[in-house]
Structure 1
Amino acid sequence: MNDESPKFVRYVPGPLTAEQIERMNALADRPDSEIDFSDIPELDDEFFKNAKQGMMYRLMKKQTTLRLDADILDWFKRHAKNGKGYQTDINKALRAYVVAQEKRAAKKAG
């Protein structure tokens, strides 16, 4: 890891206190009619027309060593833009496979 890589700090909160739980329960018990939305703009169709999902969330990447057939690795490298991004392309291909397998399994179970 070089000095230019971003540093991440993970905050793991401790258990809630009895007072915090009581306050959360009191808020949960309030009816929606008591919520003041005056400082929140209403989101209309115009907002959602330009909205993009998942822009603020990135899955954690985990470094690993993986042995691939040379021709497979070569194919991804050749099809990457300027030889860069091939690892991301491999990850996308693996994710597409996993999603397809999960859909297939859900279809069989359902």
Structure 2
Amino acid sequence: MRTDASCPFCPDGEDCLHLFLSCPRAQSFWTHLQLDLTAVIDIEQMWIVNPFLESNQRIRTTVLTCTLWNLWKCRNAKVFRSEDESNLQVAARCHDDLLLWSNRCSTASDKSKLVEWSNFFIA
């Protein structure tokens, strides 16, 4: 386990911006999803930029939260188990989480949207 503030994937220092946007590992995942986040300059902006182009705010924040959560889990797999997860593994976990989370939706339309988004990650 690391005791310093360096990124587990590259020689740079690790902070939120680096972990989720500027790290080559994160950039690889965003590219895998075919999303261009080069215009995003800070994490807060991700909630405004709407990289998934989803009009429903509840769905948009859920999909973004799921994606960031699974990038975090990818980082933890590297730090705590020395495992390098593939983009396909991270995307599959996003798919599974969104399917699971869709069962908590209060409306059928929200549930349907999350199921659609879950399929985006395995397409």
Category of TM-score, reference length = shorter chain: under 0.3
Structure 2 length-normalised TM: 0.22
CA radius of gyration, larger in:
1
